[in-house]
Structures are given as structure tokens and as C-alpha cells.
Amino acid sequence: MLFLVLVNADQLITSGFDKKLLFWDIRVEKASSCLRSLSTEVNCMSVSAFNLTVGAGASVHVYDLRKSEKPIQSKEPYNGTQLRCVSSIPYAKGFAVGSVDGRVALQISYPSSSNDIGYIFRCHPKSKDAKHHFASVNDIAFSPLVSGTFVTGDNEGHVIMWDAGSRKRLAELPTYPNSIASMSYNHVGQLLAVASSHTYQEANEIEEPPQVFIHKVDSIDTRSVSSASKS
């Protein structure tokens, strides 16, 4: 599997089964440098400003792209549980990581405040017998419009909006026809795109055709979360 993140319009970083973080200039044909060779295959990556956050196995490593000889931070948030996704926070230093067993670890450091945030929670709905789901958290996306607001999407088609500061659920969108493969806000945070697709993680995933749903964020609340267009 290949993971890719854009640094800017001309540069990107990739990683695959070779366990290397490769820095590319898309104006030339070959990788310009190898940022780092890792001991474990990369599960996920995210970049914000000069910070590259990498999930490898059960560990998170944060690199400063200006001096990437060694990570500026390394941690294992779930005591050995494999990571599934990572998302850098656009308005602060920090990240959120999702695990294969349905948990999210959040770490936010605000530069002008002492109210740093750090906790782990199990984020997706309970089943009818009141037991927690253990579906993989496939993606996490932070709103560029409302500080502290983010959405999580799992392998059973659930998308939930959260407030990081209050640790409360803000809204749950209608369950999607397939697993959540990816989510993204537009640059001003007024639209949320949700990709529903087979993610090849489980044998019992429903093989519906891939679909992309576009939600208007200002129409999503706890009372009515049904306004979405499909393409």
C-alpha cells in the first residue's frame, strides 16, 4: 500500500512497503531524497505546516521537515494496538490518531494558551446489546472553520462530529452504505466530503459501488443531519 501527503504545490512525501519516507519534487521524475528509513511499515501520514506526523505499527512519530534526522516526538498511544489513521491539526500543534479497535487519541497544544488537550476515547456507537463497536476508525478530519471540531469515520459507515474541548458528540450523520474510506473539508470548512467505499479490511464488508457524499456543514446539527448530496 502507498501513502502520500502533499507538502505544497510542487512537493510530496510517500511511503510504502519499503518502510521509507521519500520526499519528491513532482517537477522531476525521481525522489529527491529519503527523509527516513523506518523499522515498521507506515500505516498513515499527515502533514501540517512543517510537521509530518507518521503512524507506523502502533507508534506515532512527528518530524520537523526542516530537520528530519530524528522525530521531535514519538509515542505509542494505545499500548500496542495498531493505528489506522492520523490527522494533523491545522490551527495548533498536535494530532489525532484512530485505531483498528475503534478508539481515538487526541493531542492538541495551543501556542497561546495553557489549555492543552490530551485524552483517548472510544468514539463510535454501541450495538443493540449495549456493547461497544470495535470497528476501525478509518479517517479523522478537523474543521478549518470551527476550532476544536472534528469528524470521525469508521469501517461500519458511521460518521460522527465532535467537540474536542467539551469531549461531546455534536452530531451523527446518517449511516453510509459502505465503510468510510476518506473524509475532507473544503478550505473554508463549509463543505464536508465523505467517501463511502469498500476498504478491504473485513470479509463481511458490503460491496456497494463507491460513492462521495457532500454535506453542507451549517445544515448539520443534532436535530437534522440528513441533508447530503450524492455523486
> Which residues does residue 59 pair with via DSSP β-bridges, in sequence order?
56
CATH T-level assignment (fold) for domain 77-230? Methylamine Dehydrogenase; Chain H (2.130.10)
How far out from the chain centre does Cα 67 lie?
24
Question: What's the pLDDT band for 199 if we cut at 50, 70, 90?
Answer: confident
Greatest pairwise CA separation for the chain in angstroms: 56
How far apart are alpha carbons 221 and 27 in whole angstroms? 44
Per-residue burial over 205-221, b if 16 or more Cβ lie within 10 Å, else e, is: beeeeeeebebebeebe
pLDDT averaged over every residue in the chain: 84
Return the beta strands (E) in 57-156 as ranges: 59-64, 73-75, 83-88, 93-99, 103-109, 117-122, 137-142, 149-154
Q: Where are the domains of the chain?
A: 77-230
Write the pLDDT tens digit of every residue in 5-53.
787 878 889 897 888 888 888 888 776 788 888 888 998 999 988 899 9
**What are 230's three cell numbers?**
450524492
How far apart are alpha carbons 87 and 70 in whole angstroms? 20
